[in-house]
Amino acid sequence: MCGIVGVVGHGEAEGFIIEGLRRLEYRGYDSAGMGVIDKGGALHRLRATGKVQALADKVPAALGGSTAIGHTRWATHGAASDDNAHPHKAGRVLVVHNGIIENFKSLREGLAAQGRTFTSQTDTEVVAHLIDREMQAGSDPVAALKSVLPRLEGAFALGVMIDGETGFIMGARKGAPLIAGLGGNEGYLGSDPLALSGHASQIMFLDDGDMAVIRPGRIEVFDARGSAVTRKLVPAETSHVLAEKGNHRHFMEKEIHEQPEVMGRTVSHYVDAFENSVHEIAGLDFRAASRLIIVGCGTAAYAGEISRYWFGSLARLAVEVDIASEFRYRDPVFLPGDIALFISQSGETADTLEAMRLAAAAGVQTLALVNTPHSTIAREASLVVPTLAGPEIGVASTKAFTSQLSALACLAVLAGRHRGHLDRAQEAGHVASLLASPGLMVKALEREGEIEQLAHEIAGHPTVLYLGRNQNFPLALEAALKLKEISYIHAEGYAAGELKHGPIALIEEGLPVIVIAPHDALFDKTRSSIQQVASRGAHVIAITDPEGARALEGEAARIITLPKGSQLTNPLLFASAVQLLAYHVAVYKGTDVDQPRNLAKSVTVE
């Protein structure tokens, strides 16, 4: 969602804000703004629709500000416009805000009845007015914010500065991420560590309900009851170098090519390469589990769907996979012995977090499969199983997805051992294949040239279909999602065996049908589906391995041949091919690959 960055005690605060907002562009936004107090004590509020550069172009030269807050906004209440861009101001109070204030209408009506005038359509502006009202009644800024926070309903992260006050900024969070930081005699506020990297030497992850007052070299924190508390400061390890594209045109391209490294890092975390075994995870025992519930959103949910096949075949463990937004509202039934696994790249996905809280309230053990170890989901789960993908800037998930699959594969092998369905030799074989996956991924990525050529061929089609069987069915869903996300082409994924139950009616002359077809136990059935659509005029593109390529010669119009993998590694390798295909289609069409329209990296509200 939106991004927040703030600083106090800096020699050129406006430059820091612009740099921080650029780093947060990956989160998705439609406008940007900042408030800065210049060296003469005057307040400047600058806002612009469009990219951060449009805001940068409005910054007067040599402000020399020491205190500032900035924001990238993704419209929720009110259209994308300069008036609706943050910060919002009432009296001396400036506010930036991520999330949604659910009761803003009633608050706004009450404030309007008292004669207050609103200049935007946002829910955020009511917060500025509430704080300003408290200050006009005699409260100091810290007491005013403390008084206002209990009246706000919803999920939010706030950044607050006061006109004329250069000694502090304030922040507060409820259900949305927010961090504070220190570096030398400066203080920082941000919604993402990436915004502060290279500046803050230490960062503090605020707990849900916390309010922070950030001064040069000092952070004061109050909990949801308003009591002073101590939160741990940790080293700021994220390097801004990780946010550089290097020699790549886009972050998405860079992150696709980082997959061998991050897959290796994730697998190495879970396995003993010397013993070819999976490490035990303290507190996790699949032996008595009656069922594994897996919950996620979007790509994370598809990773869970793929792993359902692994847990079933390797561990004979019943698995139920659900989309978080459906799970939390369908009154789910929990059984004795259930384990619930929640997948989220950011660890802040609103629906996934609430689904996990629902399971926890029912007494179910909760596992968090996250890429952000200090996130809210990670902190609230019974156990954390990390993915170690590092920062992912592109909105369309790539390396986070394959890292999730890598971790899930290791967990499935562990479950198989726990439940007595994998002997020592079988476990060693699966672990060996996972350890080999980074090298196979490197070879798979070498097919990029022919995938790019193929992308140019299908970029002009209005619809693309993806087919797969068994674990390749959810991968077909993920492949279609990737194409939709960044190229804006209508795409659908189907179970190949369902063709005759309706989807085959869509087949017409020249329609691109991309079939994920490794030469596995179901290859002949997949081959039959290829023949069915080809006979009806479809332009069939098969993604397969060397043995499959030989068998399909003359039956598919185009064949992309990837290295031979295993049950656990095939989805990883085939994921790289469909990611590259979506990427090159989008590049050819000229869309905004890293920041596709209407999408945000982290969905922290419903």
pLDDT at 253: 93
pLDDT at 1: 52
User: Whole-angstrom Cα distance, residue 142 to residue 131?
Assistant: 9
- Whether 552 is covered by a domain: the verdict is yes
According to DSSP, the residues that pair with 493 across neighbouring strands are 466
Q: Which residues are catalytic?
A: 2, 601
* Three-class DSSP category at 533: helix
- Whether 604 is covered by a domain: the verdict is no
Same domain, 235 and 255: no
Domain-ending residue, one of 199, 219, 243: 243
**Count of other CB atoms within 10 angstroms of residue 530:** 22
Q: Give the chain's domain count.
A: 3
- Whether 119 is covered by a domain: the verdict is yes
Same domain, 250 and 182: no
Residues in the chain with pLDDT values less than 70:
1, 26-28, 237-247, 602, 604-606
User: Whole-angstrom Cα distance, residue 573 to residue 571?
Assistant: 6
| 153-185 pLDDT, tens digit each | 877 899 999 999 999 999 999 877 899 999 989
Domain-ending residue, one of 243, 278, 297: 243
- Whether 602 is covered by a domain: the verdict is no
Q: What type of residue is 345?
A: Q
pLDDT at 103: 86
Q: Are strands 277-278 and 291-296 parallel, antiparallel or unpaired?
A: unpaired
Q: What is the CATH number of the domain that holds 260?
A: 3.40.50.10490
- Whether 606 is covered by a domain: the verdict is no
Same domain, 454 and 373: no
Same domain, 237 and 213: yes
Same domain, 233 and 317: no
pLDDT at 336: 95
pLDDT at 241: 45
| 213-255 pLDDT, tens digit each | 999 999 999 999 999 999 999 888 655 544 466 668 999 998 9
Q: What is the CATH number of the domain that holds 21?
A: 3.60.20.10
Domain-ending residue, one of 222, 243, 264: 243
Question: Residue-wise over 255-271: b if at least 16 C-beta within 10 A, else e?
Answer: bbbbbbbbbbbbbbbbb
pLDDT at 605: 61
Same domain, 391 and 296: yes
pLDDT at 233: 92
User: Whole-angstrom Cα distance, residue 15 to residue 10?
Assistant: 10
Q: Where are the beta strands (DSSP E) in 165-317?
A: 169-174, 179-183, 186-190, 202-205, 211-215, 218-222, 228-229, 233-235, 271-272, 277-278, 291-296
Pick the closest to residue 323 from 354, 346, 347 (CA basis): 354
Pick the closest to residue 131 from 108, 149, 109, 104 (CA basis): 149
Q: What type of residue is 44?
A: H
Same domain, 228 and 79: yes
Q: Are 128 and 95 in contact (CB under 8 A)?
A: yes
> What's the pTM?
0.80
**Count of other CB atoms within 10 angstroms of residue 544:** 28
Angle value at C-alpha 294, between 293 and 299, nearest 5 degrees:
165
Structural tokens at position 115: 């004669």
According to DSSP, the residues that pair with 496 across neighbouring strands are none
pLDDT at 39: 82
- Whether 279 is covered by a domain: the verdict is yes
Same domain, 457 and 434: no
Same domain, 183 and 250: no
Same domain, 208 and 287: no
Same domain, 132 and 268: no
CA distances from 312 to 126, 237, 244, 409, 413 (A): 51, 38, 40, 12, 11
Domain extent, residue 457, equals 446-597
pLDDT at 56: 94
Pick the closest to residue 545 from 519, 521, 523 (CA basis): 519
Same domain, 163 and 124: yes
pLDDT at 503: 84
